[in-house]
Amino acid sequence: MTITNEEMIVDIKSLDEKGAGRASVWRENEKGNPKKLRLTVPQVLPGEKVRVTVDKPERRRRRAKLEEIIETHSERTAPPCPHFDKCGGCVWQHWDYIGQLQQKTSHVKGAIEAQGFNPDLVQDTIGMDEPWRYRNKMEFTFSPEGELGLHEQGNFRKIISLETCLIAGKEMVEAAMEVAIWAKEHQLKGYNKDLHEGLLRHLMVRQSFVTGEMMLALFATEAPTGELEEAVNNLIRRVEDKFPQVKSLMWLENTDWADRTQSEKSHVLAGRDFIYDEMDGYRFRLWFDTFFQTNPTQAQKLVDLAVEMGEPKKTEKMIDLFCGVGTFSLPFASKVEKLAGIEIVESSIESAKRNALDNGLTNTYFLAKDARKGIDEVLESFGRPELLLLDPPRSGAGGKVMRRIGRSQPERIVYVSCNPDTFATDIKELVPFGYRLEKVQPVDLFPHTVHVECVALMSRVKGMTNKNCLK
């Protein structure tokens, strides 16, 4: 007989990679043999004792529903967002912010220690004075019924309709809610991922905290013509009347089955197809698909730390690997003799070139190529750089790229990471090439989530062995 539900009292021992609690219970199976049931419990903290309901507990791993907190962690706090219980946008609003920062520091220390490095090289995580309203970009999703919101925790098929969002800029949320009202009034259906039908898929909102310019980008399965013209014209009037800071109102056709904010054809409904943003005194053009740091306050700290650790000099050459649109390239270019940026995404390279030109920088060279092959091409014409910076995606740079960096022998390597685990495995590849880890500084760009960024410095030391680099 299959048991469908069972209540249990469990102790939360640790957290998983998504920020949920881990617990385990020994129980007898149908044959009377002991069997460990591993549970994932959302919205709990390490050390808490909780009562949960488990669906189908005869299985080895289950997600449990939190029913009651019996013993409470001293750092537990009341989440301020009315959607926190269901929305998957944040996972740690119930945790005091100081506790979140300590957990992130521990994560980074654990990651590098697992690869043999000294955890004492990791500094305390730099947090925010005000860890709310920090995001300058949000991607909302329409439900099949036309409701606008974010995915439910642990369920990418269900959309939680939102009235607010406390991690996004206030004006961004107001504009998004106006689009939600517009969609309802015109009875526009959202996209059904199972049936692959419906009109509205996503709404991207991004706003510069410096210039104030905002972009609204609607992703839909049809062109904004024919029967949609009346509704679209109404949207344009609403936005122009209520949100003059919107300098780019876009309608982006996307018929692909993949659930991504991509476009097959773009329509500018009002304004231009990009907005201006600024960082570190440099101006950037941002299109709907431009990667740009989503927390500008903390991103500035990343740039400052990278410059401080890298110590760029006017007599030096530099490579910026995974350079994107030049977020780090531009501040460094003004401090070195010449800089080469490498990025596989061609549109980002075109943006980097334009951004350098807009800011009067003439000592940059940007190459659209795979990282490993790009290094080879740059070294041929550029020579060995004294300084190399890399800012790879969450998957890391990978062993082949890191070994190629090691063979190129820059004097100093600054690694900007958004994933401590892949960062740690990447930098271990540099040890045989004579590099020593000097310092790791975590920075919290995403309060109330599990994510943490790092800036680290590795220096080349002549005659150094593997033993000198590790613990």
Sign of CA dihedral 277, 283, 288, 290: negative
Tokens of 180: 């939600």
- The enclosing H or E element of 420 equals helix 420-428
Backbone angles phi, psi at 305, to 5 degrees: -65, -40
Question: What residues pair up with 39 in beta bridges, in sequence order?
Answer: 23, 62
E strands, 254-378, in order? 265-271, 275-279, 282-286, 317-321, 338-343, 364-368
Nearest-5° angle of CA 35, CA 41, CA 43? 165
Residue 420 near residue 454 (C-beta atoms within 8 A): yes
Kindly provide the b/e burial profile for residues 393-424, where b requires at least 16 CB atoms within 10 angstroms of the residue's own CB.
eeebbbeebbbbbbebebebbbbbbbbbbbbb
Residue among 381, 296, 304, 285 nearest 342 (CA)? 381
Question: What residues pair up with 54 in beta bridges, in sequence order?
Answer: 6, 64
Decide if 87 is catalytic.
no
Count CA atoms closer than 13 A to 143's CA, side-chain side.
16
Catalytic residue among 323, 418, 454, 469: 418
Q: Specify the residue for token string 């549970």.
A: 39
Alpha carbon distances (Å) from 184 to 145, 200, 205, 216, 316? 9, 11, 18, 17, 57
| Spatial CB neighbours of 33, under 8 Å, sequence gap ≥ 6 | none
Cα 193 vs. chain centroid, distance in angstroms? 24
Residue among 409, 422, 413 nearest 452 (CA)? 422
Q: Report the alpha-carbon distance of residue 114 to residue 17 in Å, rounded.
A: 15
The residues annotated as belonging to the active site are: 418
